[in-house]
Structure 1
Amino acid sequence: MLEKSYVLPTYARADISFVSGQNATLTDSEGKEYIDFTSGIGVVSVGHGDNALSQALCEQAKKIIHISNLYQIAPQEEAAKKIVLESGYDMQCFFGNSGAEANEGAIKIARKYGEVDGQPKRYKIITLKHSFHGRTITTVKATGQASMHNYFGPFPDGFVYADDIDQIASLVDDHTVGVMIELIQGEGGVQPIDKEKVQKLAAFLKEKDVLLIVDEVQTGVYRTGEFLASNVYDIEPDIITLAKGLGGGVPIGVVMTGKKDVLGAGDHGSTFGGNYLASTAASTVVDLLSAYKQSGALDEAIIAFAQKLEALQKAHSDIFTEAVGFGLMRGLRVVDADTLAAIITAARTHGVMVLRAGRNTLRFLPPLTITKDEMDEGFARLEKAIGTL
């Protein structure tokens, strides 16, 4: 394969090459079909091969793909408007190309916000252990998993890790400017944080003038059933980051904030961020999923998927200790890591794609538009795979 000669070996790739897809069904180069319970790790929110998204991208590509942010970009302005209106918050957006970039932008906003003449510099940002915020040098350091910090230091200073949400308040000091959390830790094991504790923390931070930054790279854009997990938790963060499902597969990242006067011209930038193609993708995806939500179809899909998952857990309680998550961001706790690895391999053999999260969680991130037939087929294949263990 060309990969071994020309691509750096940073992924332990499965020996499968996909050539086409339709909604939650993928076909590989050998003609084998798979039910996709991963959506490219929460990215392909409107499914593979969506006609409306494909047509919008083709039409835009025929006109302009890229200019640069030195000029006005009408599709970017339209996408920003839709994102802000869907969020329900009074915010403005900056466009990048990934979740890590969005989180870098959030950190820069917070750090500048903490720079006040004549006062001690506030620069510390508290994050949670087992969090994941990206793979750039700064976002790796923001990530509260010690194993992620191997090899790549020295790192930027100023990140403090809390064992859990209960400890955060005690770590806030005169140099703290922000707290960055995922409301549901994705890579950390599909671990939702208690809603009342989040609301209590938000009120405390507002009182202390410490910014609440919510990383919604994985939870955003209807993954949890509402446009934002922040909407589900009934809080109003100071900064929110989005990526993954926003572009439906086209790379994009957004940091949005109500602190509109912090960054000025030259403080931040991105060559590709929010260009014509990416903005068109985001605008189209928001339109599609907003209509899907309003029709009631999203809620129906969430209920149906949850029922299937809970039935699987109960049928194999010797393997799965509990079902976790909400919306279409779900997981099953597995008795041990070896069994989890065996399930993922067997599932792939039987034509269904699932993910690992943390040490012992089987993770499910299907396209939000997954049909009941695709669910039925996927869970039937998963049942067969489990039967081979």
Structure 2
Amino acid sequence: MSNTQELDKKYVLPTYARADVEFVSGENATLVDSNGKKYIDFTSGIGVVSVGHANKLVNEAICKQISNLTHTSNLYNIAPQAKAAQKIVDTSGYEMQCFFGNSGAEANEGAIKIARKYGEINGEVKRYKIITLQHSFHGRTITTVKATGQAEMHNYFGPFPDGFVYADTISDIEGLLDSHTTAVMIELVQGEGGVQPQDKKEVQALAKLLKSKNILLIVDEVQTGVYRTGKFLASQVYEIEPDIITLAKGLGGGVPIGVVMTSLKDVLSAGDHGSTFGGNFLSSTAACSVLDILNELKRNGELQNTIECFNEKLDIFFKENKKLFTKKVGIGLMCGLRTKDGDILNKIISNAKDEGVMVLKAGKNTLRFLPPLTITKEEIDEGFNSINRAVSSL
């Protein structure tokens, strides 16, 4: 047992089933552990390190900023926060404003508060109910755990805030709407629920229905946002315009950040919501740099080339291993392979680590791939060579 493992076991609460590896450095999609072994990272820190590990442009921007200021609080104007908000809104193409927090769960908490206040001040009765989907995942706070449509995640932590209703599918939502419904909250591609994309026509029909009933549509883009699906937002892929969108993960390139953006500019007023750390000089500077890098990759076509290259390799891998997998799922660089059972999935992840490639689990039987959006062709090739070795004995 290493010194780090000893300290972790003694001083850190055991809320994670950690893999037996300690990373000490990285470059783009390549990680190096404490023994000097290299790994190709097909996880990007669960979709966070969107522009790769130790990105020089992001690091330079952060170093320049923190040599002047790291934090002053939201009691004062923060130039990089205002610039980050402008970049997010302009890139989205939606007429919105942003609130900055520190995580996806905080962004979703903000979305829920906006929806609840909107329901309170608009309508003849108090509207507070929010409909989410079974197998959804919206965060780890008490409220976002309750918003999550996975019953096993509700164990031990109640009582919860009232007002969350779960629909089995998109098409089931209409039958659950009532006079107290203020919003519907969905992921366009369920991440933790198994990399499951929603049907585009059903989503568009839902958006139209909700608009006609003055019910808000919240889209949780914590994992799908910031070009993960090929466009800046999955909402753009689905050709809808939600009332509220949440972002986090890939926006900061590894620096904690969360954003709730909304067209409802007049619902919250001073004092209704806040964050001590949210959107400070450090995190918003990182976000500005990440957005500049990814906007250019999108503009010059490199992002699309990377998506096509990765998916071509994944298609080949799937076709050559149909004894293990039943289906390829996902959009862009948010991909998954359904395994025939959970035991196979666990063996693949373990073997992959041994062979020098990091992959993820989603749901009960999905092998999930979330590589950095800057991953090179050489890193893609090396990663798939490693994962082919990992499954050769299964």
TM category (shorter chain) comes to over 0.9
1:86-128 deviation digits (Å, cap 9, x = unpaired): 0000000000000000000000000000013772100000000
AA aligned opposite 1:363: R
Q: Does 1:237 align with 2:245?
A: no
Report SS of the residue matched to 1:279: helix
Offset at 1:326? Answer: 1.2
Q: Does 1:147 align with 2:122?
A: no
1:223 to 221, 228, 231: 228
| Separation in structure 1 between the aligned mates of residue 125 and residue 105 of structure 2, nearest angstrom | 28
Match of 1:96 in 2: 101
How many pairs are equivalent?
389
1:56 to 54, 61, 67: 61
Q: Does 1:178 align with 2:180?
A: no
Match of 2:318 in 1: 313
1:210-260 deviation digits (Å, cap 9, x = unpaired): 000000000000000000000000000000000000000000000000000
Match of 2:289 in 1: 284
Match of 1:193 in 2: 198
Report SS of the residue matched to 1:179: strand
Tell me the TM-score normalized by structure 1: 0.99
AA aligned opposite 1:211: L
AA aligned opposite 1:148: M
| Separation in structure 2 between the aligned mates of residue 22 and residue 30 of structure 1, nearest angstrom | 16
Indicate if the aligned counterparts of 1:190 and 1:330 stay in contact, CA closer than 8 A.
Answer: yes
Match of 1:365 in 2: 370
| Separation in structure 2 between the aligned mates of residue 15 and residue 355 of structure 1, nearest angstrom | 15
Indicate if the aligned counterparts of 1:177 and 1:210 stay in contact, CA closer than 8 A.
Answer: yes
Report SS of the residue matched to 1:262: coil
| Separation in structure 1 between the aligned mates of residue 256 and residue 35 of structure 2, nearest angstrom | 28
| Separation in structure 2 between the aligned mates of residue 191 and residue 82 of structure 1, nearest angstrom | 29
AA aligned opposite 1:15: D
TM superposition outliers: structure 1 runs of 4+ over 3 Å: none
| Separation in structure 1 between the aligned mates of residue 76 and residue 66 of structure 2, nearest angstrom | 18
AA aligned opposite 1:324: V
Offset at 1:200? Answer: 0.3
Indicate if the aligned counterparts of 1:166 and 1:197 stay in contact, CA closer than 8 A.
Answer: yes
Percent identity of equivalent pairs: 70
2:91 to 71, 86, 93: 86
Offset at 1:15? Answer: 1.4
Report SS of the residue matched to 1:82: helix
Offset at 1:61? Answer: 0.6
2:75 to 66, 70, 90: 70
Q: Judging changes above 3 Å, is the alpha-carbon distance between structure 1 residues 11 and 83 closer, same or farther for their aligned structure 2 residues?
A: same
| Separation in structure 2 between the aligned mates of residue 156 and residue 169 of structure 1, nearest angstrom | 23
Q: Does 1:121 align with 2:141?
A: no
CA RMSD of aligned residues (A): 0.7
1:135-157 deviation digits (Å, cap 9, x = unpaired): 00000000000000000000000
Q: Does 1:266 align with 2:266?
A: no
AA aligned opposite 1:124: K
Q: Does 1:327 align with 2:318?
A: no
Offset at 1:4? Answer: 0.8
Match of 2:3 in 1: none
| Separation in structure 1 between the aligned mates of residue 234 and residue 128 of structure 2, nearest angstrom | 26
Offset at 1:388? Answer: 2.4
Match of 2:301 in 1: 296
Task: Could you tell me which runs of 5 or more consecutive residues in structure 2 were left unpaired when the two chains were aligned.
Answer: 1-5
Report SS of the residue matched to 1:366: coil
Match of 1:16 in 2: 21
| Separation in structure 2 between the aligned mates of residue 283 and residue 55 of structure 1, nearest angstrom | 12
| Separation in structure 2 between the aligned mates of residue 91 and residue 374 of structure 1, nearest angstrom | 37
| Separation in structure 2 between the aligned mates of residue 117 and residue 256 of structure 1, nearest angstrom | 20
AA aligned opposite 1:288: I
| Separation in structure 1 between the aligned mates of residue 56 and residue 122 of structure 2, nearest angstrom | 53
1:38-57 deviation digits (Å, cap 9, x = unpaired): 00000000000110000000
AA aligned opposite 1:255: V
Task: Could you tell me which runs of 5 or more consecutive residues in structure 1 were left unpaired when the two chains were aligned.
Answer: none
Indicate if the aligned counterparts of 1:346 and 1:388 stay in contact, CA closer than 8 A.
Answer: no
AA aligned opposite 2:250: G
